[in-house]
Structure 1
Amino acid sequence: MKKRWKQALPLLCGGAFLTGVYGMFGNDPELLHAEEAVEMMESRYQGEVTAFQALDDTYTMQLTAADGTYQIDLHPVTGEVLAFEPINEHGLAPSGESEGPERLDPSEVEAIVADTASGAVVTEMELKEEDKNVYDVVFSQDGASGRLEIDAYSGDIELFTLEEAVPVDPIDREEAAAIALEAFSGVVDDIDLEEKDGRLVYEIEVENEASDQEADVIIDAYSGEVLDIKHD
C-alpha cells in the first residue's frame, strides 16, 4: 500500500531543518546529510523542496516544480530515488498516473555529446548510480580524447574535459630551424634533438654576426613552441 503524504512533515525554512530529521538514522557518517539530499533533488528536478522527513529507512521529501508537486523517497546512503510520485489536492496520485522524469537512454546521451562536442565519437559509456545518477562518457574528437559526465535525468553537463591530441612524430629540423630564426634572427650554427626534464626538445644555436650575439633557442619538438632563449 502506498504511503499518503503526511501534512505534518516538517517544513524547510531558510535551509534549517526541524529537530528529528536524523532521528531515524542517527549520525552515521555514511548517510547523506539532509541538506545534501535536498540540494541533489532540487538540482535534478529543477524544483524546491518544501518538506522533509526521515521515514522507514528513506528520506521522504515534498518537491514543488514548474509542472506540479511530487513526493520523493530517497535512499539515505546511495542517493537512489526509490519513488517519485505526483501529489494532488487529495494526496498521492493513483499508481500509474505519472511515473515522474524518465532516465535518458544511451541514444539521447549520444545526441547530447554530439551537440556539446561537434564531430565527437563516443568510445565508452557507463551509467554511474553510486553517489549520483550520471552517464560517464569517453569520446574522441579530431584525434583528441575527451570525457563528459551527463546527468542521467536532466541531461545537464556535470563535467567536460578535452585533451589536445599530441602529434606522433616531432617536427623536422628544417621547421625547427625556421621557428628558431623567427625568435632570434641570424644563422643557424647547430641543431640538437635531446630530452630535457622528460620533454623532447630541439636546442638550436643561432649566431647574429651583425650584432655579434649568439643564442640557444629551445623549442618543443612536437608542438614547435619556443620554450626558452638563452643569450650568450
Structure 2
Amino acid sequence: MKEGIKMKKLILVPAAGLLLFGGIAFANSNEGTQQDTQLQTAVVETAAVNSEKEKIGFGKAEGIARDIIDGQMTDIELERDNGKQYYDIEMYANGYEYDIEVDAITGEVLKNKREKENDFDDDDKKAASTQASAQNGKAYGAVKISAEDAVKAALAVVSGEVEDVELEHDDGRVYYDIEIDNHYEEHEVKVDATNGEILEVETDIED
C-alpha cells in the first residue's frame, strides 16, 4: 500500500508541474495580448491626437515648397501614414518635376527630390517630351491665383476637408481640380486658375 501511494505521488507531481507551467504560459499569453492591445490603442490615440492638431494648411505648405523651388505647384495632397499627416507636393520648374513632402503639423520639410531627366534614345520621343514641357510651362505661366485662393473658393460652395489640389490644363484652360471630403459626401470642384471662377462641382454620396 505504501509503495502504491508513493507511486501516485510521483505521478501527481509532474501533473502538477504541467498545470503550473500551463498557468504560467497562459499568464504570459494574456500579458502579451494586453501589451499588443495597449500598443494598438496607443497608435490609435496618437493618430487621433495628430488628426485633432491644427494643420498648417495647403497655403502655407505651398509657400514652404515655393521657398525651396522657384516654380509652379502642380499637385498638393494631404497624406496620412502611421498616424502622421503630411502634404505631398509636386512642383514644376525649368522642365523638371520636384517631389516635396511637408509635415502637416510642424511644417518641417520631410522630402525634397528632383525627378531624373529622361534619357531618350529616340529623337521623336525627345522632341515630344520637349514640346510637352513647353506646353506645360506656357499653361502654368497663365496661373494667376494660388492653390490657397482656389481652396477658399471651393470651400465657399461646399464644406469638408480638402484632400487633394491638382493643377490641370485642358483645351487651353488651366484650372485647379480640388477634392473635398466631409465623411458623407465626396466633392470634386474645378476652379479656374486664372480668375478663381467655379467651373464645375461634382458630388458623390459615400456608402
**TM-score, normalised via structure 1 length:** 0.28
Larger RCO (alpha carbons 8 Å, 6+ apart): 2
**Structure (1/2) with the larger strand percentage:** 1
**Structure (1/2) with the larger helix percentage:** 2
